[in-house]
Amino acid sequence: MHERISRNGRQANLVGVVCVAVALWAGVPDSPVADAAMRGDTAAVRALLREGADVNTAHGDGMTALHWAARRGGVAMAEILIYAGANVGAVTRLGDYTPLHLASKAGHGGVIVTLLEAGSDANAATSTGAVQPIHFAAVSGSVDAIAALLDHGADVNATESQWRQTPLMFAAAANRAPAVKVLLERGADPTVTARVIDIAAREELDRSDQRRRSQLMAALRAASEGTAGEERGQGERGAGQGPPPERGGQPQNTDRPGPDAPPERRLRGGTEIDPLSYADLVGAHGGMTALLLAVREGHVETADALLEAGADIDQVSTSDRTSPLLMATINGHFDLAMSLLERGADPRMASAAGATPLYATLNTEWIPKSRHPQPTESRQQRITYLELMEALLEAGADVNAALNKPLWYTTYNNDLLRVDRTGATLFWRAAFATDVAAMRLLVSYGADPNIPTRRVPQRRFGRRGGEREDISGLPPVPVGGPAVYPLHAASGVGYGQGFAANSHRHVPDGWLPAVKYLVEEIGADVNARDLNGYSPVHHAAARGDDELIRYLVSQGADVMLVSRSGQTTVDMANGPVQRIQPFPETIALLESLGAINNHNCVSC
């Protein structure tokens, strides 16, 4: 009986829902004029209007017949609708798009003129992004549409609300060279820069929001548990005493780092971490000019149009001081970079991080593999990276310029290499890529092949937050002191400390030739130690490179050296990092040379 009543109740509820749905559907007005306009059926529109149909009845999304005429580009239909009383200021339900926005987006100059002459607002802004018709016309590339809007009072330098970009920026990013030219002729300012986003400030706002949410949730839980306790006769805890302890009566673990913890509290399995957060690495982004937007996308014709109209070839972004030449090399547009250089772009200009076009050219050629897409345009250029590097050097680029901090866009803040590139010169970067040809080129232009990267402030945490004992016998390296030399970079730094093999790109089979070049022609010390006490043999062993180990030993390398963490050369070949398998032949080779095996395999 109870089951039957429940079934009947469900049926009644279903009938009620259907009735409500039908009622709602029935309440939606018919839009025959809008339907006809959507089909582009001018004859049907005329007939409906003669019969007295409402010209302004819209579809559910707010699209009126005039919206559809504007979108389709029907001048005759738009004139008919306007004559019949169509509202030129009608807006859609989402975004508040007027017919003029849609006509501008499609680049229909004739309809735009018709709408403007009927009183449409040339500077009407959408509610999402405050985009104006002139922005849409710029993206469409229609010179007629742009001219019509400007002739009727559109602001040529109007900015939308999200990035504060102008129509010129929209056209430049979309590679609309004719639109760029007409906008510049009509007064568009190529020096305007877009909005700058301060990453640190944004993260602080996010943390504040998270704290407020956490406090609200804690208060709601406390109130809920207090109500439940009162119902059980256990409501002794006062509302002013705060939330109850965690399950089990244990106090909350205040040592557990949370999202609001400072960088030094964010542990990664007890290993050393880089104190630079994403905000530290990026700093700020945005602040682009129209030229920077065109160059970023590799739009040669549009970039030329901007430059011919007087755009500053060296105007940098206001966020991180990226120049157009640097922007071109970062994104692999080597042909465009050469064109900018020939036009007089300054190759010595460096970004806030110290990146130069010269460094970016080589870095782009050997950009690490990443879970995020990396630029591939360099593979489609006529000019090679070595040719561009030589041209930049001939133009006066600083061959020994060094990075002030790692470049966030090299590995997108997920550095499997675990190699801090602060202080890296271009020669160091070439050694890291085992690129002998690039190293020779740089030395011929005066590069110092002995400059290491710099040690940055770091904290070391054991499993319980303690410092690791340094048993290497080496003196400590001060902050700012030498970290990793080119020889370490060329022998495989990072392979025994992270998962470099998953992302590192270098010259195929380039390890031995690169090390030979550094040792025999540059005079690098085969027993040089990096900031962690690793020698070139340590790094070669971490990759299982027996050939390189034998070469280093033949040049006087000591296989008995111990790193600061106590790892021998054999230990580096014996799976010192989780999910890295041992190299049995390398282990046997080093043991035969007298090295000690501590059997520290993590993945065995």
Q: Tell me, what's the pLDDT at 373?
A: 80
Pick the residue with more confidence: 402 or 220? 402
Q: Tell me, what's the pLDDT at 500?
A: 82
Number of C-alpha atoms within 13 angstroms, CB side, residue 295?
Answer: 33
Please compute the mean of the pLDDT values over residues 338-357 and round it to a whole number.
Answer: 98
With H, G, I as helix, E, B as strand and everything else as coil, classify residue 98. Answer: coil
* Pairwise CA distance, residues 75 & 112, whole Å: 9
Report which of 430, 432, 404 is spatially closest to residue 418, judged by C-alpha positions. 432
How does residue 312 score in pLDDT terms, banded at 50, 70 and 90? very high
Are 377 and 333 contacting, i.e. CB atoms less than 8 angstroms apart?
yes
Q: Tell me, what's the pLDDT at 523?
A: 98
Span between the terminal Cα atoms of the chain, in Å: 65
* Pairwise CA distance, residues 388 & 334, whole Å: 7
How does residue 263 score in pLDDT terms, banded at 50, 70 and 90? very low
Lowest-pLDDT range, 213-222, 526-535, 559-568, 590-599? 213-222
Burial class (CB in 10 A: 0-12, 13-18, 19+), 544: buried
Q: Tell me, what's the pLDDT at 468?
A: 66
Please compute the mean of the pLDDT values over residues 578-593 and round it to a whole number.
Answer: 94
DSSP letter for each residue of 181-207: HHHHHTT--TT----EEEHHHHHHHHH
Please compute the mean of the pLDDT values over residues 494-511 and round it to a whole number.
Answer: 90
Q: How far is CA 287 from the centre of its chain?
A: 15
* Pairwise CA distance, residues 350 & 323, whole Å: 8
Q: Is pLDDT at 126 greater than 90 in this prediction? A: yes
Are 10 and 42 contacting, i.e. CB atoms less than 8 angstroms apart?
no
Q: Is pLDDT at 102 greater than 80 in this prediction? A: yes
Q: Positive or negative CA dihedral for 157, 305, 162, 194? A: negative
Lowest-pLDDT range, 76-90, 192-206, 314-328? 192-206
pLDDT tens for each residue of 388-423 = 999 999 999 999 999 999 998 888 655 777 899 999
Q: Tell me, what's the pLDDT at 12?
A: 40
How does residue 74 score in pLDDT terms, banded at 50, 70 and 90? very high
Q: Identify the helix (H) or strand (E) that includes residue 216.
A: helix 199-231
Q: Tell me, what's the pLDDT at 499?
A: 82
Are 252 and 246 contacting, i.e. CB atoms less than 8 angstroms apart?
yes
DSSP letter for each residue of 390-454: HHHHHTT--TT-B-SS--HHHHTT--TT----TT-BHHHHHHHTT-HHHHHHHHHTT--TTPPPB
Are 65 and 37 contacting, i.e. CB atoms less than 8 angstroms apart?
yes
* Pairwise CA distance, residues 222 & 204, whole Å: 27
Lowest-pLDDT range, 62-71, 349-358, 465-474, 477-486? 465-474
Q: What percent of the chain has pLDDT over 70?
A: 84
Helices (H), 107-142: 109-117, 133-140
Report which of 537, 416, 531, 419 is spatially closest to residue 477, judged by C-alpha positions. 531
* Pairwise CA distance, residues 189 & 290, whole Å: 9
Bridge partners of 198, per DSSP, are 284
Q: Is pLDDT at 590 greater than 80 in this prediction? A: yes
- Looking at this protein, which amino acid is placed at residue 376? T
Please compute the mean of the pLDDT values over residues 344-350 and round it to a whole number.
Answer: 98
Pick the residue with more confidence: 478 or 371? 478
User: Which residue bears the tokens 């905000």?
Assistant: 279
DSSP letter for each residue of 27-91: HSPP-HHHHHHHHT-HHHHHHHHHTT--TT---TTS--HHHHHHHHT-HHHHHHHHHTT--TT--
Are 53 and 80 contacting, i.e. CB atoms less than 8 angstroms apart?
no
Q: Tell me, what's the pLDDT at 228?
A: 60
* Pairwise CA distance, residues 536 & 487, whole Å: 7
Token output for 361: 């050219």
Report which of 451, 453, 590 is spatially closest to residue 532, judged by C-alpha positions. 453
Buried b / exposed e over 225-253, threshold 16 CB at 10 Å, is: ebeeeeeeeeeeeeeeeebeeeeeeeeee
Report which of 426, 461, 401 is spatially closest to residue 275, judged by C-alpha positions. 461
Give me the domains of the chain, ranges plus CATH numbers. Answer: 31-189 (1.25.40.20), 268-415 (1.25.40.20), 416-604 (1.25.40.20)
CA distances to 61, 68, 72, 175 from 131, rounded to whole Å, are 19, 19, 20, 19
pLDDT tens for each residue of 127-181 = 999 999 999 999 999 999 999 999 999 999 999 999 999 999 999 999 999 999 9
Contacts of 585 (CB under 8 A, 6+ apart): 544, 546
Q: Is pLDDT at 258 greater than 90 in this prediction? A: no
CA distances to 65, 289, 292, 307, 417 from 339, rounded to whole Å, are 49, 18, 14, 11, 34
Are 454 and 422 contacting, i.e. CB atoms less than 8 angstroms apart?
yes
Contacts of 505 (CB under 8 A, 6+ apart): 366, 367, 368, 369, 433
Q: What percent of the chain has pLDDT over 90?
A: 71
Token output for 460: 């070391």
DSSP assignment letter at 379: G
Q: Tell me, what's the pLDDT at 465?
A: 46
Are 490 and 518 contacting, i.e. CB atoms less than 8 angstroms apart?
yes
Mean pLDDT across the chain: 87
* Pairwise CA distance, residues 343 & 296, whole Å: 17
How does residue 230 score in pLDDT terms, banded at 50, 70 and 90? low
Q: Identify the helix (H) or strand (E) that includes residue 302.
A: helix 300-308
Please compute the mean of the pLDDT values over residues 440-455 and round it to a whole number.
Answer: 98
Q: Is pLDDT at 25 greater than 50 in this prediction? A: no
Q: Tell me, what's the pLDDT at 231?
A: 55
DSSP assignment letter at 492: T
Q: Is pLDDT at 574 greater than 70 in this prediction? A: yes
Q: Is pLDDT at 236 greater than 90 in this prediction? A: no
CA-angle at 360, arms to 385 and 498, nearest 5°: 105
How does residue 438 score in pLDDT terms, banded at 50, 70 and 90? very high
Q: Is pLDDT at 563 greater than 90 in this prediction? A: yes
Burial class (CB in 10 A: 0-12, 13-18, 19+), 270: middle
Q: Is pLDDT at 8 greater than 60 in this prediction? A: no
Report the 10 Å Cβ neighbour count for 158: 19
How does residue 273 score in pLDDT terms, banded at 50, 70 and 90? very low
Q: Is pLDDT at 223 greater than 80 in this prediction? A: yes
Bridge partners of 321, per DSSP, are none
Q: Tell me, what's the pLDDT at 270?
A: 30
How does residue 603 score in pLDDT terms, banded at 50, 70 and 90? confident
Q: Tell me, what's the pLDDT at 446?
A: 98
Lowest-pLDDT range, 118-122, 484-488, 580-584? 580-584
